[in-house]
Chains A and B, each alone.
Chain A
Amino acid sequence: MSHLPVLILVVYFAAALLLPLLAKLKKSFPGWGALAVTSLALLLSIASALYVGENGPYSYFPGGHGGPGIEITVDWVTVLMHLTINLVGVLILVYSLGDLKSELHPDSLPAYYSIYLVMLAALNGLVMAGDLFNLYIFIEICTIAACALVAIKPGKLCLEAGLKYMFLSTLGSGMILLGIGLVYMVTGELNMGALSEAIPLAFSSYPWNIYVAMSLFIVGFGIKSALFPLHVWLPDAHASAAAPSSAIHSGLIIKVFIIVVARLIFQIFGANLFAAIPAPEVILLLSTIGIFAGSVLAIAQTDIKRMLAYSTIAQISYIFMGFALAVPSGIMGGLLHIVNHGIMKSMLFLAAGAIIYKTGIRKIDELRGIGFRMPLTMSIFSIGALSMVGIPGFSGFISKYYLAFGALEAGKPIYVAVILASSLLNAIYYLPIVVRAFLGHKEGKFVWDQLPWPMATAMVIMAAFNLLFGILPGSLLRLVELAATALLS
């Protein structure tokens, strides 16, 4: 039973290899096959969560030798992220069964599902990597798959966005690899458990290696997860991609890189070393600027997907702020926002994709009165928008509450003001869409939007999870608290 996390990876990779070939036998197979595989992976991650609940966190060594080496760490952070990744992955896949035929060339559909499965495998592997070698391999797989998911849509905008993303992301990977090299140079270890003991020794003789390595990690992962000045690839990539690709990019991929850098900094370098170079202050400053810059730029946008992309930059800055505060409530807020924003932003991107699918409208000005033609989609969009602003009763409120609590606990109450002010800015660009959609017409009769059932089902389930985590967040809070304790120890 302890093999379950590795089995998730095996299942994803095996399906990704076989899907394009089985698609030649039966044309409609790839989508349903991918759905079956992703549901199986979700069941495996739930079983793994129950196993960790009974037996506690453990380390798994492929190769069977039991000593330090290539390691797979399964602790509460891993369990939380596995559940989030596989759940959101399943729901986005269900949506894509109805939507992709209109966006992609029909010959590239099997390839899309194959890349999607490899992407989910890489995300799952990233959160359970226990040594730097494993980590780097999964980072590279994730980079290539993410870039392919953007560039697979026909058209020159997607191609340019994918190319820009690839160049910047490779810069980040190069910096991360150099950081790994600098750490390996002074400690001689790659295993994260062994590194956490060897770094204080190495720090006393070679401090500059450790400082430079930590900075390279923060900048390298910051490029991949769109920390404020390094976010320039994000609006193009997320706005021009196909709807499921935008959803999985904004919802999952960026967040997993934040989890990885948080794990590296808190578990290998230690929170004391993190505070020695003034990294928390720098990250807090950058995230504050990012929150305001992202929100202000989002207000100025006219294309709905570009506005959602700039909003993602602001929300990512919230998560960075939560982690940089380095107190348990702040980290809980960051982890909660990862889960909640994963569901919320995916829901918003899928709703925007549904609007584009049904009516072809991308500009916000033309969305007047659309609530009467597509009531289900716009109500789901409204649930997502209210949750992003932080209205109590929706899941966004819980994560912002914990972030504010963390700011108070760290003794920096100015960040509570930052959170409140930015929630107001969120309202400025989200609420006009909701208001204009429903109250824009003089008289309106509701016409049921006829979407293909996969799209409607996926969005409704996501909205249900949003409301569930907003009204009854108890079990999620317990899981997140265990994960935050595991991250800080």
Chain B
Amino acid sequence: MSDIVLQTVIRFLAPFMQVYGLYLILWGHNSPGGAFAGGAIIAVSFLLGLLIPGPQSRFLAWRQTVQWLAALGGMAFLTLGVAGILQGTAFLTNFLGQGQRLFSAGLIPLLAASMGLLVFAAVFSLVAQLLKEYKNV
């Protein structure tokens, strides 16, 4: 009986957690937050479902493929940094400038988004791997 309660609560809670995590990532340069906190919260929203036997356990099988997302996030970060080098100034310069319409801080939200992807993939695959070993023991 407790399973159905937990499952329903998690099914309600997960979208809110993901939106909050996205908010933390994208506004990390202006208010407390940033890539680590936001990425961890998004990962936890998936991981809560893994702890209960139920339909959310299918995410366990994704723990290897999620590592591709980690590589994508990391490579995006490094590419954005090297783009600053190619432009002639230095690594990680803010070449988009400030005062754009959507991303008013230039490069920083893009860097935060790529780091958020990396942190999400890392936390998710780490805890999912530990859970898999625990369930097999």
Contacts and interface: CB of A to CB of B under 8 A. Distances in A.
A and B touching (C-beta < 8 Å)? yes
Interface of A: 3, 6-7, 10, 13-14, 17-18, 20-21, 60-64
Interface in B15-70: 67-68, 70
B82 A60 contact: no
A63 B92 contact: yes
B74 A6 contact: no
A63 B75 contact: no
Contacts of B67: 20-21
A21 B84 CA distance: 27
Contact of B93 (A7, A13, A20, A63): A63
B78 to A, nearest CB: 5
Given A3-B85, A20-B67, A21-B68, A14 B78 contact: yes
Nearest to A17: B74
B90 interface: yes
A64 B90 contact: yes
Contacts of A3: 85, 90-91
B7 interface: no
B14 to A, nearest CB: 27
Contact of A17 (B75, B91, B93): B75
Interface residues of B, number: 17
B124 to A, nearest CB: 16
A60 B85 CA distance: 12
Contacts of B74: 13-14, 17
A3 B90 CA distance: 7
Given A17-B75, A18-B71, A63 B82 contact: no
A63 B90 contact: yes
Contacts of B92: 62-64
Contacts of A61: 90
Given A10-B81, A62-B81, 13 more contacts: A10-B78, A10-B82, A14-B75, A14-B78, A17-B71, A17-B74, A60-B90, A62-B90, A62-B91, A63-B90, A63-B94, A64-B90, A64-B93
6 contacts: A10-B82, A17-B70, A62-B81, A63-B91, A64-B93, A64-B94
B29 to A, nearest CB: 13
B98 to A, nearest CB: 13
Interface string B118-135: 000000000000000000
B78 A13 contact: yes
B45 to A, nearest CB: 24
Contacts of B70: 17
B89 interface: yes
Interface of B: 67-68, 70-71, 74-75, 78, 81-82, 84-85, 89-94
Classify the secondary structure of A's interface with B.
helix
B36 to A, nearest CB: 12
Nearest to B73: A17
A231 B90 CA distance: 40
Contacts of B82: 7, 10
A186 B82 CA distance: 36
A7 B78 CA distance: 10
B76 to A, nearest CB: 10
Contacts of A62: 81, 90-93
Nearest to A60: B90
Contacts of B71: 17-18, 21
Q: Which of B78, B81, B84, B90 gathers most chain A CB within 10 Å? A: B90
Nearest to B72: A17
A17 B91 CA distance: 19
Contacts of A64: 84, 89-90, 92-94
B75 A18 contact: yes
A21 B66 CA distance: 11
Contacts of B91: 3, 6, 10, 62-63
A6 B47 CA distance: 36
Contacts of A20: 67
A14 B71 CA distance: 8
B126 to A, nearest CB: 13
The CB with the most chain B CB atoms within 10 A, among A13, A14, A64, is that of A64
Contacts of A18: 71, 75
A21 B71 CA distance: 8
Top 3 A-B pairs, shortest CB-CB distance: A64-B93, A64-B89, A64-B90
Contacts of A63: 90-94
A325 B21 CA distance: 53
B123 to A, nearest CB: 15
Contacts of B93: 62-64
A2 to B, nearest CB: 9
A7 B75 contact: no
